[in-house]
A and B are shown apart, each in its own frame.
Chain A
Amino acid sequence: MGAMEKPFNWAELVRPEHVHGSVYTDPAIFQADLEKIWYRTWVYVGHESEVPKPDDFVMKSIGPQPIIMTRDRDGKIQLLQNRCTHRGNQICQAHKGSASTFTCPYHGWNFGSDGELRGLPFSSGYEGVDRSKLALGRVARIASYKGFVFGSFASEGPTLEDHLGAAHVAIDKLVETSPEGEVEITAGFLQHKVKANWKLLVENETDGYHPQFVHASIFKVAESGIGSLYGPNSTALSRYFGNGHTEFDLRPEFRQRGQLLGWFGTTPEKYPEYVARMRAAYGDDKANAIMIDGTPHTMIFPNLFIAEIQMFVLQATAVDETVQHVTALQFKGAPELNRRMRQQTMGSVGSAGFLLADDGEMYERTQRGLQSRNPEWVYIGRGKHRERRDEQGLLISDVTDEVPSRGMWEHYRSMMEAK
Protein backbone atom coordinates (compact mmCIF):
# COMPACT_ATOMS: atom_id res chain seq x y z
CA MET A 1 0.00 0.00 0.00
CA GLY A 2 1.39 3.41 -0.97
CA ALA A 3 2.14 5.91 1.78
CA MET A 4 -0.55 8.30 0.54
CA GLU A 5 -3.19 5.60 0.25
CA LYS A 6 -5.89 5.70 2.87
CA PRO A 7 -6.43 2.27 4.44
CA PHE A 8 -9.92 0.94 3.88
CA ASN A 9 -11.59 -1.71 5.95
CA TRP A 10 -13.00 -3.70 3.06
CA ALA A 11 -14.71 -6.32 5.18
CA GLU A 12 -16.58 -3.48 6.87
CA LEU A 13 -17.52 -1.76 3.57
CA VAL A 14 -18.52 -4.93 1.70
CA ARG A 15 -20.63 -7.26 3.81
CA PRO A 16 -22.41 -10.43 2.68
CA GLU A 17 -25.76 -8.71 2.02
CA HIS A 18 -24.89 -5.04 2.28
CA VAL A 19 -22.50 -2.74 0.44
CA HIS A 20 -21.53 0.69 1.69
CA GLY A 21 -22.61 3.57 -0.59
CA SER A 22 -19.12 5.07 -0.54
CA VAL A 23 -17.71 2.24 -2.67
CA TYR A 24 -19.57 3.85 -5.58
CA THR A 25 -18.93 7.48 -4.73
CA ASP A 26 -15.56 7.90 -2.97
CA PRO A 27 -12.83 9.11 -5.38
CA ALA A 28 -10.16 7.45 -3.23
CA ILE A 29 -11.94 4.11 -3.61
CA PHE A 30 -12.04 4.64 -7.36
CA GLN A 31 -8.25 5.09 -7.36
CA ALA A 32 -8.01 1.87 -5.36
CA ASP A 33 -10.29 0.15 -7.91
CA LEU A 34 -7.87 1.14 -10.66
CA GLU A 35 -4.81 -0.08 -8.79
CA LYS A 36 -6.25 -3.30 -7.41
CA ILE A 37 -8.55 -4.34 -10.23
CA TRP A 38 -8.20 -2.51 -13.54
CA TYR A 39 -4.40 -2.40 -13.50
CA ARG A 40 -3.98 -5.87 -12.13
CA THR A 41 -6.53 -8.46 -13.23
CA TRP A 42 -7.29 -9.63 -16.79
CA VAL A 43 -9.25 -6.90 -18.56
CA TYR A 44 -10.88 -7.47 -21.94
CA VAL A 45 -9.27 -5.21 -24.53
CA GLY A 46 -10.35 -6.18 -28.05
CA HIS A 47 -11.01 -8.93 -30.54
CA GLU A 48 -8.49 -10.45 -32.93
CA SER A 49 -10.85 -9.85 -35.86
CA GLU A 50 -10.51 -6.09 -35.32
CA VAL A 51 -6.90 -6.28 -36.52
CA PRO A 52 -7.10 -8.92 -39.23
CA LYS A 53 -3.84 -8.13 -41.08
CA PRO A 54 -0.24 -7.40 -40.00
CA ASP A 55 0.22 -3.70 -39.09
CA ASP A 56 -3.51 -3.18 -38.43
CA PHE A 57 -4.20 -1.27 -35.26
CA VAL A 58 -7.21 -0.12 -33.26
CA MET A 59 -7.42 2.20 -30.25
CA LYS A 60 -8.70 0.48 -27.11
CA SER A 61 -8.41 1.11 -23.39
CA ILE A 62 -7.84 -0.30 -19.94
CA GLY A 63 -9.70 1.98 -17.56
CA PRO A 64 -8.74 5.60 -18.30
CA GLN A 65 -5.59 4.58 -20.21
CA PRO A 66 -5.72 4.32 -24.00
CA ILE A 67 -4.20 1.11 -25.38
CA ILE A 68 -3.16 0.62 -28.99
CA MET A 69 -3.97 -2.94 -30.02
CA THR A 70 -1.84 -3.85 -33.01
CA ARG A 71 -1.05 -6.91 -35.01
CA ASP A 72 2.69 -6.73 -35.61
CA ARG A 73 4.57 -7.74 -38.71
CA ASP A 74 4.81 -11.32 -37.45
CA GLY A 75 1.05 -11.50 -36.92
CA LYS A 76 1.32 -11.28 -33.14
CA ILE A 77 -1.17 -9.16 -31.16
CA GLN A 78 0.45 -6.37 -29.13
CA LEU A 79 -1.06 -4.09 -26.51
CA LEU A 80 0.94 -0.86 -26.50
CA GLN A 81 0.70 2.29 -24.47
CA ASN A 82 -0.01 5.50 -26.34
CA ARG A 83 2.93 7.26 -24.77
CA CYS A 84 6.20 8.10 -26.42
CA THR A 85 9.14 6.79 -24.42
CA HIS A 86 11.00 10.06 -25.02
CA ARG A 87 8.95 12.66 -23.19
CA GLY A 88 5.46 11.22 -23.13
CA ASN A 89 3.65 12.59 -26.17
CA GLN A 90 0.81 10.50 -27.58
CA ILE A 91 2.08 8.77 -30.68
CA CYS A 92 -1.27 7.80 -32.24
CA GLN A 93 -4.33 10.00 -32.81
CA ALA A 94 -6.36 7.71 -35.06
CA HIS A 95 -9.16 5.39 -33.85
CA LYS A 96 -7.98 2.64 -36.16
CA GLY A 97 -5.98 2.03 -39.28
CA SER A 98 -2.97 0.29 -40.64
CA ALA A 99 0.58 1.46 -39.98
CA SER A 100 3.90 -0.33 -40.00
CA THR A 101 5.32 2.41 -37.78
CA PHE A 102 4.11 5.13 -35.43
CA THR A 103 6.06 8.36 -35.59
CA CYS A 104 5.90 10.64 -32.60
CA PRO A 105 5.08 14.12 -33.90
CA TYR A 106 7.04 15.87 -31.14
CA HIS A 107 10.65 14.94 -31.97
CA GLY A 108 10.15 12.26 -34.57
CA TRP A 109 10.92 9.05 -32.69
CA ASN A 110 9.67 6.12 -34.68
CA PHE A 111 8.22 2.88 -33.31
CA GLY A 112 7.29 -0.36 -35.08
CA SER A 113 3.87 -2.00 -34.81
CA ASP A 114 5.56 -4.34 -32.31
CA GLY A 115 6.42 -1.33 -30.14
CA GLU A 116 10.20 -1.47 -30.76
CA LEU A 117 12.03 1.82 -31.23
CA ARG A 118 13.07 1.84 -34.88
CA GLY A 119 14.60 5.24 -35.31
CA LEU A 120 15.30 8.62 -33.74
CA PRO A 121 16.29 11.79 -35.56
CA PHE A 122 19.74 13.36 -35.16
CA SER A 123 20.87 10.12 -33.60
CA SER A 124 24.39 11.34 -32.79
CA GLY A 125 22.82 12.80 -29.65
CA TYR A 126 22.12 9.29 -28.39
CA GLU A 127 25.53 7.69 -28.67
CA GLY A 128 25.81 4.65 -26.47
CA VAL A 129 22.08 4.60 -25.61
CA ASP A 130 20.44 1.16 -25.66
CA ARG A 131 17.42 1.50 -27.95
CA SER A 132 15.95 -1.80 -26.91
CA LYS A 133 15.17 -0.22 -23.51
CA LEU A 134 13.15 2.51 -25.22
CA ALA A 135 10.40 0.37 -26.74
CA LEU A 136 6.82 1.52 -26.17
CA GLY A 137 5.28 0.45 -22.89
CA ARG A 138 3.48 -2.85 -23.22
CA VAL A 139 0.67 -4.30 -21.16
CA ALA A 140 2.63 -6.84 -19.13
CA ARG A 141 0.63 -9.91 -20.14
CA ILE A 142 -1.56 -10.61 -23.16
CA ALA A 143 -3.71 -13.67 -23.64
CA SER A 144 -6.43 -14.54 -26.04
CA TYR A 145 -9.33 -16.96 -25.67
CA LYS A 146 -11.11 -17.92 -28.91
CA GLY A 147 -10.33 -14.54 -30.42
CA PHE A 148 -11.09 -12.44 -27.31
CA VAL A 149 -7.93 -10.58 -26.28
CA PHE A 150 -7.32 -9.72 -22.64
CA GLY A 151 -4.51 -7.79 -21.03
CA SER A 152 -3.15 -7.64 -17.49
CA PHE A 153 -0.81 -4.95 -16.20
CA ALA A 154 0.44 -7.41 -13.57
CA SER A 155 3.51 -9.29 -14.79
CA GLU A 156 2.56 -12.21 -12.56
CA GLY A 157 -0.74 -13.68 -11.50
CA PRO A 158 -3.34 -16.23 -12.48
CA THR A 159 -3.46 -17.21 -16.15
CA LEU A 160 -6.37 -16.02 -18.29
CA GLU A 161 -7.84 -19.52 -18.20
CA ASP A 162 -7.63 -19.50 -14.40
CA HIS A 163 -9.27 -16.10 -14.34
CA LEU A 164 -12.12 -17.09 -16.65
CA GLY A 165 -12.61 -20.31 -14.71
CA ALA A 166 -16.08 -21.75 -15.22
CA ALA A 167 -17.15 -18.65 -17.20
CA HIS A 168 -15.18 -19.78 -20.25
CA VAL A 169 -18.35 -21.67 -21.27
CA ALA A 170 -19.91 -18.32 -22.18
CA ILE A 171 -17.31 -17.75 -24.88
CA ASP A 172 -17.45 -21.42 -25.94
CA LYS A 173 -21.24 -21.21 -26.36
CA LEU A 174 -21.04 -17.87 -28.06
CA VAL A 175 -18.65 -18.95 -30.81
CA GLU A 176 -20.79 -22.05 -31.44
CA THR A 177 -23.55 -19.80 -32.72
CA SER A 178 -21.35 -19.44 -35.79
CA PRO A 179 -21.30 -22.41 -38.17
CA GLU A 180 -17.58 -21.73 -38.42
CA GLY A 181 -17.06 -21.42 -34.70
CA GLU A 182 -15.90 -17.80 -34.81
CA VAL A 183 -17.18 -14.43 -33.69
CA GLU A 184 -16.20 -11.36 -35.66
CA ILE A 185 -16.25 -7.79 -34.43
CA THR A 186 -16.71 -5.76 -37.59
CA ALA A 187 -19.68 -3.42 -37.15
CA GLY A 188 -17.98 -0.56 -35.28
CA PHE A 189 -18.76 0.61 -31.75
CA LEU A 190 -21.22 2.98 -30.16
CA GLN A 191 -19.76 4.81 -27.16
CA HIS A 192 -22.39 5.51 -24.53
CA LYS A 193 -21.24 7.54 -21.54
CA VAL A 194 -23.03 7.66 -18.20
CA LYS A 195 -22.35 9.65 -15.04
CA ALA A 196 -22.16 6.61 -12.79
CA ASN A 197 -19.64 4.33 -11.13
CA TRP A 198 -18.58 1.30 -13.17
CA LYS A 199 -19.71 -1.19 -10.53
CA LEU A 200 -23.34 -0.10 -10.91
CA LEU A 201 -23.11 -1.17 -14.54
CA VAL A 202 -21.40 -4.47 -13.78
CA GLU A 203 -24.16 -5.32 -11.29
CA ASN A 204 -26.99 -4.26 -13.57
CA GLU A 205 -25.80 -6.46 -16.46
CA THR A 206 -26.99 -9.49 -14.52
CA ASP A 207 -29.73 -7.90 -12.43
CA GLY A 208 -32.82 -9.87 -13.39
CA TYR A 209 -35.04 -7.88 -11.07
CA HIS A 210 -35.09 -4.62 -13.06
CA PRO A 211 -36.17 -5.40 -16.65
CA GLN A 212 -39.92 -5.45 -16.10
CA PHE A 213 -39.75 -2.02 -14.46
CA VAL A 214 -36.95 -0.19 -16.24
CA HIS A 215 -37.90 -1.57 -19.65
CA ALA A 216 -41.68 -1.58 -19.21
CA SER A 217 -42.11 1.02 -21.96
CA ILE A 218 -40.43 -0.92 -24.74
CA PHE A 219 -41.70 -4.34 -23.63
CA LYS A 220 -45.20 -2.90 -23.84
CA VAL A 221 -45.03 -1.26 -27.25
CA ALA A 222 -42.81 -3.85 -28.94
CA GLU A 223 -44.95 -6.70 -27.59
CA SER A 224 -41.73 -8.55 -26.96
CA GLY A 225 -41.64 -11.85 -25.08
CA ILE A 226 -38.49 -10.80 -23.19
CA GLY A 227 -40.30 -9.37 -20.18
CA SER A 228 -41.67 -12.71 -19.02
CA LEU A 229 -38.12 -14.16 -18.83
CA TYR A 230 -37.56 -11.83 -15.88
CA GLY A 231 -40.61 -12.46 -13.75
CA PRO A 232 -41.34 -14.33 -10.54
CA ASN A 233 -42.51 -17.41 -12.47
CA SER A 234 -39.55 -17.61 -14.84
CA THR A 235 -37.54 -20.83 -14.84
CA ALA A 236 -34.44 -18.90 -15.92
CA LEU A 237 -31.58 -18.80 -13.41
CA SER A 238 -29.00 -16.38 -12.11
CA ARG A 239 -25.53 -17.85 -11.58
CA TYR A 240 -22.24 -16.91 -9.96
CA PHE A 241 -19.26 -18.42 -11.77
CA GLY A 242 -16.60 -17.29 -9.31
CA ASN A 243 -13.85 -14.66 -9.88
CA GLY A 244 -16.55 -11.99 -10.21
CA HIS A 245 -18.17 -13.50 -13.33
CA THR A 246 -21.97 -13.81 -13.39
CA GLU A 247 -24.77 -14.75 -15.75
CA PHE A 248 -28.41 -15.31 -16.47
CA ASP A 249 -29.05 -18.80 -17.69
CA LEU A 250 -32.09 -18.39 -19.95
CA ARG A 251 -31.87 -21.93 -21.34
CA PRO A 252 -34.54 -23.45 -19.08
CA GLU A 253 -37.05 -21.02 -20.57
CA PHE A 254 -35.93 -21.51 -24.16
CA ARG A 255 -35.83 -25.28 -23.74
CA GLN A 256 -39.39 -25.24 -22.47
CA ARG A 257 -40.44 -23.31 -25.55
CA GLY A 258 -38.33 -25.65 -27.71
CA GLN A 259 -38.30 -23.24 -30.67
CA LEU A 260 -35.29 -23.10 -32.97
CA LEU A 261 -34.11 -19.45 -32.98
CA GLY A 262 -36.84 -18.61 -30.49
CA TRP A 263 -34.15 -16.87 -28.38
CA PHE A 264 -33.73 -14.46 -31.29
CA GLY A 265 -37.46 -13.87 -31.71
CA THR A 266 -37.51 -15.54 -35.10
CA THR A 267 -38.01 -18.89 -36.82
CA PRO A 268 -35.88 -21.32 -38.83
CA GLU A 269 -38.09 -20.71 -41.89
CA LYS A 270 -36.74 -17.16 -42.08
CA TYR A 271 -33.10 -18.33 -41.95
CA PRO A 272 -32.98 -21.60 -43.90
CA GLU A 273 -29.38 -21.15 -45.05
CA TYR A 274 -28.13 -20.50 -41.54
CA VAL A 275 -29.99 -23.52 -40.18
CA ALA A 276 -28.57 -25.72 -42.95
CA ARG A 277 -25.03 -24.49 -42.34
CA MET A 278 -25.35 -25.07 -38.59
CA ARG A 279 -26.58 -28.64 -39.16
CA ALA A 280 -23.79 -29.33 -41.61
CA ALA A 281 -21.24 -28.01 -39.13
CA TYR A 282 -22.42 -29.59 -35.89
CA GLY A 283 -24.81 -32.40 -36.89
CA ASP A 284 -28.58 -32.14 -36.48
CA ASP A 285 -28.84 -32.79 -32.75
CA LYS A 286 -26.12 -30.45 -31.57
CA ALA A 287 -27.12 -27.76 -34.07
CA ASN A 288 -30.73 -27.91 -32.90
CA ALA A 289 -29.66 -27.71 -29.28
CA ILE A 290 -27.50 -24.65 -29.99
CA MET A 291 -30.33 -22.96 -31.88
CA ILE A 292 -32.79 -23.61 -29.05
CA ASP A 293 -30.47 -22.60 -26.19
CA GLY A 294 -29.45 -19.27 -27.72
CA THR A 295 -26.45 -17.12 -26.88
CA PRO A 296 -25.13 -16.32 -23.39
CA HIS A 297 -25.99 -13.43 -21.13
CA THR A 298 -22.76 -13.31 -19.17
CA MET A 299 -20.78 -10.60 -17.40
CA ILE A 300 -17.07 -11.38 -17.39
CA PHE A 301 -15.55 -9.34 -14.59
CA PRO A 302 -14.62 -6.55 -14.72
CA ASN A 303 -15.58 -5.31 -18.17
CA LEU A 304 -16.81 -7.76 -20.83
CA PHE A 305 -20.56 -8.20 -21.05
CA ILE A 306 -21.73 -10.75 -23.60
CA ALA A 307 -25.35 -9.71 -23.98
CA GLU A 308 -26.95 -12.30 -26.27
CA ILE A 309 -26.88 -10.28 -29.50
CA GLN A 310 -24.31 -7.63 -28.65
CA MET A 311 -21.15 -7.15 -26.68
CA PHE A 312 -20.45 -4.36 -24.20
CA VAL A 313 -16.97 -3.37 -23.14
CA LEU A 314 -17.08 -1.28 -19.99
CA GLN A 315 -14.48 1.42 -19.43
CA ALA A 316 -14.18 3.00 -16.01
CA THR A 317 -13.03 6.57 -16.58
CA ALA A 318 -13.83 8.34 -13.27
CA VAL A 319 -15.52 7.59 -9.97
CA ASP A 320 -18.78 8.80 -11.50
CA GLU A 321 -18.21 8.19 -15.20
CA THR A 322 -18.26 5.00 -17.24
CA VAL A 323 -18.22 4.48 -20.99
CA GLN A 324 -20.01 1.52 -22.54
CA HIS A 325 -18.47 0.52 -25.87
CA VAL A 326 -21.05 -1.61 -27.59
CA THR A 327 -21.33 -3.44 -30.89
CA ALA A 328 -23.39 -6.15 -32.53
CA LEU A 329 -21.94 -9.63 -32.32
CA GLN A 330 -21.27 -10.98 -35.77
CA PHE A 331 -20.99 -14.68 -36.47
CA LYS A 332 -18.68 -15.95 -39.18
CA GLY A 333 -20.63 -17.72 -41.88
CA ALA A 334 -24.00 -16.26 -40.83
CA PRO A 335 -24.55 -13.07 -42.87
CA GLU A 336 -28.35 -13.22 -42.70
CA LEU A 337 -28.34 -13.54 -38.93
CA ASN A 338 -25.71 -10.80 -38.65
CA ARG A 339 -27.87 -8.23 -40.37
CA ARG A 340 -30.63 -8.77 -37.82
CA MET A 341 -28.03 -8.67 -35.03
CA ARG A 342 -26.98 -5.21 -36.19
CA GLN A 343 -30.53 -3.94 -36.61
CA GLN A 344 -31.61 -5.12 -33.18
CA THR A 345 -28.44 -3.87 -31.53
CA MET A 346 -28.89 -0.39 -33.00
CA GLY A 347 -32.48 -0.37 -31.81
CA SER A 348 -31.85 -1.48 -28.28
CA VAL A 349 -28.48 -0.12 -27.10
CA GLY A 350 -26.27 2.94 -27.23
CA SER A 351 -27.17 6.50 -26.30
CA ALA A 352 -30.54 6.40 -28.08
CA GLY A 353 -31.37 2.73 -27.48
CA PHE A 354 -34.87 1.57 -26.57
CA LEU A 355 -33.35 -0.35 -23.65
CA LEU A 356 -30.02 1.19 -22.70
CA ALA A 357 -31.14 4.81 -22.56
CA ASP A 358 -33.34 3.77 -19.64
CA ASP A 359 -30.65 1.65 -17.97
CA GLY A 360 -28.39 4.70 -18.32
CA GLU A 361 -31.00 6.83 -16.61
CA MET A 362 -31.12 4.36 -13.70
CA TYR A 363 -27.32 4.35 -13.38
CA GLU A 364 -27.23 8.12 -13.13
CA ARG A 365 -30.16 8.40 -10.73
CA THR A 366 -28.63 5.72 -8.51
CA GLN A 367 -25.28 7.51 -8.52
CA ARG A 368 -27.09 10.67 -7.36
CA GLY A 369 -29.22 8.74 -4.88
CA LEU A 370 -26.12 7.29 -3.25
CA GLN A 371 -24.99 10.79 -2.29
CA SER A 372 -27.73 10.79 0.35
CA ARG A 373 -26.25 9.40 3.53
CA ASN A 374 -29.11 7.61 5.18
CA PRO A 375 -29.31 4.66 4.82
CA GLU A 376 -25.58 4.19 4.38
CA TRP A 377 -25.99 0.76 2.85
CA VAL A 378 -27.20 -0.82 -0.36
CA TYR A 379 -29.13 -4.00 0.36
CA ILE A 380 -28.40 -6.98 -1.91
CA GLY A 381 -30.08 -9.80 0.04
CA ARG A 382 -32.79 -10.74 -2.45
CA GLY A 383 -33.22 -14.53 -2.71
CA LYS A 384 -30.56 -15.32 -0.11
CA HIS A 385 -32.86 -17.92 1.48
CA ARG A 386 -33.31 -19.82 -1.77
CA GLU A 387 -29.86 -19.73 -3.35
CA ARG A 388 -28.53 -23.19 -4.13
CA ARG A 389 -25.76 -25.04 -5.98
CA ASP A 390 -25.98 -26.46 -9.51
CA GLU A 391 -24.40 -29.78 -10.64
CA GLN A 392 -21.05 -28.02 -11.03
CA GLY A 393 -21.28 -26.63 -7.50
CA LEU A 394 -21.83 -23.07 -8.74
CA LEU A 395 -24.16 -20.79 -6.82
CA ILE A 396 -27.51 -20.30 -8.58
CA SER A 397 -30.91 -18.85 -7.78
CA ASP A 398 -34.04 -17.53 -9.43
CA VAL A 399 -33.26 -15.12 -12.24
CA THR A 400 -34.60 -12.11 -10.30
CA ASP A 401 -32.39 -12.86 -7.28
CA GLU A 402 -29.22 -11.03 -6.28
CA VAL A 403 -26.82 -13.97 -6.37
CA PRO A 404 -24.75 -12.26 -9.11
CA SER A 405 -24.32 -9.05 -7.10
CA ARG A 406 -23.41 -10.92 -3.93
CA GLY A 407 -20.84 -12.99 -5.83
CA MET A 408 -19.37 -9.99 -7.60
CA TRP A 409 -18.98 -8.09 -4.32
CA GLU A 410 -17.35 -11.00 -2.56
CA HIS A 411 -14.80 -11.16 -5.36
CA TYR A 412 -14.36 -7.38 -5.29
CA ARG A 413 -13.62 -7.49 -1.57
CA SER A 414 -11.04 -10.25 -2.00
CA MET A 415 -9.29 -8.27 -4.76
CA MET A 416 -9.25 -5.09 -2.71
CA GLU A 417 -7.89 -6.91 0.33
CA ALA A 418 -5.10 -8.56 -1.67
CA LYS A 419 -1.65 -7.08 -1.11
Chain B
Amino acid sequence: MDRMALEDDVLLREVTRFIYREARLQDDHEYDAWEALWADDGVYLIPANGEGGDPEQEMSLVYDNRSRIALRIRQLHTGKRHTQAPRSRLCRIVSNIELLECEGDTIRVTANAVVYESNARGETVWPSRNEYLLRRVGGELRMSLKKVVLINNDKPLYTLSFLI
Protein backbone atom coordinates (compact mmCIF):
# COMPACT_ATOMS: atom_id res chain seq x y z
CA MET B 1 0.00 0.00 0.00
CA ASP B 2 1.53 3.35 -0.96
CA ARG B 3 1.72 6.22 1.49
CA MET B 4 -1.27 8.12 0.05
CA ALA B 5 -3.46 5.07 0.25
CA LEU B 6 -2.29 4.44 3.79
CA GLU B 7 -3.09 8.00 4.85
CA ASP B 8 -6.49 7.64 3.21
CA ASP B 9 -7.07 4.48 5.13
CA VAL B 10 -6.23 6.12 8.44
CA LEU B 11 -8.54 9.03 7.63
CA LEU B 12 -11.32 6.71 6.50
CA ARG B 13 -11.13 4.92 9.83
CA GLU B 14 -11.32 8.18 11.73
CA VAL B 15 -14.29 9.37 9.64
CA THR B 16 -16.03 6.03 10.06
CA ARG B 17 -15.61 6.22 13.84
CA PHE B 18 -17.05 9.73 13.75
CA ILE B 19 -20.10 8.69 11.72
CA TYR B 20 -20.78 5.60 13.85
CA ARG B 21 -20.59 7.77 16.93
CA GLU B 22 -23.00 10.27 15.42
CA ALA B 23 -25.39 7.42 14.58
CA ARG B 24 -25.23 6.07 18.13
CA LEU B 25 -25.87 9.50 19.67
CA GLN B 26 -28.90 9.92 17.42
CA ASP B 27 -30.28 6.45 18.21
CA ASP B 28 -29.79 7.18 21.93
CA HIS B 29 -31.35 10.67 21.78
CA GLU B 30 -28.15 12.13 23.22
CA TYR B 31 -29.13 15.56 21.97
CA ASP B 32 -26.35 17.67 23.51
CA ALA B 33 -23.55 15.33 22.58
CA TRP B 34 -24.94 15.24 19.02
CA GLU B 35 -25.18 19.02 18.88
CA ALA B 36 -21.52 19.24 19.95
CA LEU B 37 -20.57 17.46 16.70
CA TRP B 38 -21.49 20.54 14.69
CA ALA B 39 -19.11 23.27 13.53
CA ASP B 40 -20.20 26.85 14.19
CA ASP B 41 -21.32 27.28 10.57
CA GLY B 42 -23.10 23.93 10.45
CA VAL B 43 -26.04 23.39 8.08
CA TYR B 44 -28.45 20.48 8.54
CA LEU B 45 -30.31 19.86 5.29
CA ILE B 46 -33.03 17.32 4.50
CA PRO B 47 -34.30 18.10 1.00
CA ALA B 48 -37.76 17.29 -0.27
CA ASN B 49 -38.62 16.20 -3.82
CA GLY B 50 -35.51 14.36 -4.93
CA GLU B 51 -32.02 15.74 -4.56
CA GLY B 52 -33.68 19.04 -3.80
CA GLY B 53 -32.90 22.13 -5.78
CA ASP B 54 -31.52 25.25 -4.16
CA PRO B 55 -32.62 25.12 -0.52
CA GLU B 56 -32.64 28.91 -0.55
CA GLN B 57 -35.46 28.77 -3.11
CA GLU B 58 -37.31 25.51 -2.53
CA MET B 59 -38.98 23.84 0.42
CA SER B 60 -36.84 21.34 2.33
CA LEU B 61 -37.99 19.15 5.20
CA VAL B 62 -35.18 20.63 7.27
CA TYR B 63 -32.90 23.50 6.36
CA ASP B 64 -31.36 24.50 9.67
CA ASN B 65 -28.48 26.86 10.18
CA ARG B 66 -26.50 26.46 13.38
CA SER B 67 -28.85 28.53 15.52
CA ARG B 68 -31.90 26.64 14.25
CA ILE B 69 -30.15 23.34 15.04
CA ALA B 70 -29.79 24.66 18.59
CA LEU B 71 -33.48 25.62 18.66
CA ARG B 72 -34.44 22.12 17.49
CA ILE B 73 -32.41 20.63 20.33
CA ARG B 74 -33.87 23.02 22.90
CA GLN B 75 -37.38 22.09 21.76
CA LEU B 76 -36.59 18.39 22.20
CA HIS B 77 -35.31 19.12 25.72
CA THR B 78 -38.56 20.77 26.88
CA GLY B 79 -40.21 17.38 27.36
CA LYS B 80 -43.25 18.88 25.60
CA ARG B 81 -42.21 18.02 22.08
CA HIS B 82 -45.21 15.66 22.04
CA THR B 83 -44.16 13.76 18.96
CA GLN B 84 -41.01 12.71 20.87
CA ALA B 85 -42.72 12.08 24.19
CA PRO B 86 -42.38 9.15 24.45
CA ARG B 87 -39.32 9.09 22.23
CA SER B 88 -39.16 7.03 19.09
CA ARG B 89 -37.18 3.84 19.49
CA LEU B 90 -34.47 3.87 16.86
CA CYS B 91 -31.94 1.59 15.28
CA ARG B 92 -29.91 2.67 12.29
CA ILE B 93 -27.43 0.98 10.05
CA VAL B 94 -24.88 3.25 8.36
CA SER B 95 -22.77 1.83 5.57
CA ASN B 96 -20.98 2.52 2.27
CA ILE B 97 -18.86 5.24 3.84
CA GLU B 98 -16.62 6.83 1.21
CA LEU B 99 -14.28 9.80 1.24
CA LEU B 100 -15.03 11.63 -1.99
CA GLU B 101 -12.66 14.55 -1.73
CA CYS B 102 -10.42 16.46 0.61
CA GLU B 103 -10.13 20.14 -0.12
CA GLY B 104 -8.14 22.26 2.28
CA ASP B 105 -9.36 21.23 5.70
CA THR B 106 -12.73 19.96 4.47
CA ILE B 107 -13.53 16.32 3.75
CA ARG B 108 -16.55 15.36 1.68
CA VAL B 109 -17.99 12.03 2.74
CA THR B 110 -20.97 10.02 1.55
CA ALA B 111 -22.73 7.17 3.32
CA ASN B 112 -25.98 5.26 3.10
CA ALA B 113 -28.25 4.86 6.09
CA VAL B 114 -31.41 2.96 7.00
CA VAL B 115 -33.23 3.95 10.16
CA TYR B 116 -35.92 1.80 11.74
CA GLU B 117 -38.26 3.84 13.88
CA SER B 118 -40.86 2.42 16.24
CA ASN B 119 -43.42 4.65 17.91
CA ALA B 120 -47.12 4.64 18.75
CA ARG B 121 -48.06 4.96 15.07
CA GLY B 122 -46.14 1.81 14.15
CA GLU B 123 -42.83 1.01 12.48
CA THR B 124 -41.38 3.26 9.84
CA VAL B 125 -38.29 2.74 7.70
CA TRP B 126 -36.29 5.79 6.66
CA PRO B 127 -33.69 4.99 3.96
CA SER B 128 -31.33 7.76 2.93
CA ARG B 129 -28.18 8.69 1.08
CA ASN B 130 -26.20 11.06 3.24
CA GLU B 131 -23.51 13.57 2.51
CA TYR B 132 -21.22 15.18 5.06
CA LEU B 133 -18.76 18.01 4.93
CA LEU B 134 -16.40 17.43 7.85
CA ARG B 135 -13.78 19.84 9.09
CA ARG B 136 -11.19 19.63 11.80
CA VAL B 137 -11.87 22.05 14.64
CA GLY B 138 -9.28 21.98 17.43
CA GLY B 139 -8.10 18.60 16.19
CA GLU B 140 -11.60 17.04 16.23
CA LEU B 141 -13.82 16.34 13.24
CA ARG B 142 -16.96 18.52 13.13
CA MET B 143 -19.88 18.62 10.69
CA SER B 144 -20.24 21.77 8.62
CA LEU B 145 -22.91 20.09 6.48
CA LYS B 146 -25.08 17.06 6.90
CA LYS B 147 -27.42 16.45 4.00
CA VAL B 148 -29.88 13.58 4.29
CA VAL B 149 -31.51 12.66 0.99
CA LEU B 150 -34.38 10.33 1.84
CA ILE B 151 -34.94 8.10 -1.14
CA ASN B 152 -38.72 8.38 -0.76
CA ASN B 153 -38.74 12.15 -0.27
CA ASP B 154 -40.82 12.75 -3.39
CA LYS B 155 -43.76 10.99 -1.70
CA PRO B 156 -45.85 11.93 1.33
CA LEU B 157 -43.86 11.24 4.49
CA TYR B 158 -44.95 10.63 8.06
CA THR B 159 -43.78 12.89 10.85
CA LEU B 160 -39.98 12.91 11.15
CA SER B 161 -39.20 14.37 14.55
CA PHE B 162 -36.17 12.38 15.70
CA LEU B 163 -32.65 13.27 14.64
CA ILE B 164 -31.84 11.60 11.36
Please give the residue numbers on chain A whose beta carbons come within 8 Å of chain B beta carbons, in ascending order: 95, 186-195, 214, 216-218, 220-222, 323, 326-328, 339, 342-343, 345-347, 350-352, 354, 356-358, 360-362, 364-365, 368
Contacts and interface: CB of A to CB of B under 8 A. Distances in A.
Given A188-B58, A195-B121, A351-B159, A362 B82 contact: yes
Q: Interface residue tally of chain B, by bracket?
A: 20 to 34
A188 B114 CA distance: 26
Nearest to B48: A190
Interface SS of B by simple majority: loop
Interface string B142-157: 0000000000001111
Contacts of A346: 59-63
A366 to B, nearest CB: 12
B121 A218 contact: no
17 contacts: A188-B58, A189-B59, A190-B59, A192-B156, A194-B158, A195-B121, A214-B82, A221-B74, A350-B48, A350-B59, A351-B61, A351-B159, A351-B160, A354-B72, A357-B81, A361-B161, A364-B121
Nearest to B68: A347
B82 A191 contact: no
B158 A217 contact: no
B49 A188 contact: yes
A360 B59 contact: no
Return the 9 tightest CB-CB contacts between A and B, nearest first: A193-B156, A191-B156, A217-B80, A361-B83, A217-B78, A221-B74, A351-B160, A188-B58, A323-B156
B95 interface: no
Interface in B39-90: 46, 48-49, 53, 56-64, 68, 71-72, 74-75, 78-83
B120 interface: yes
Nearest to B61: A352
Interface of B: 46, 48-49, 53, 56-64, 68, 71-72, 74-75, 78-83, 120-121, 154-161
Contacts of A345: 59
Nearest to B55: A346
A357 to B, nearest CB: 4
Nearest to A186: B57
Contact of A358 (B63, B64, B71, B81): B81
A190 B58 contact: no
Contact of A192 (B63, B78, B159): B159
Contacts of A218: 75
A192 B83 CA distance: 14
A345 B58 CA distance: 11
Contacts of B155: 191
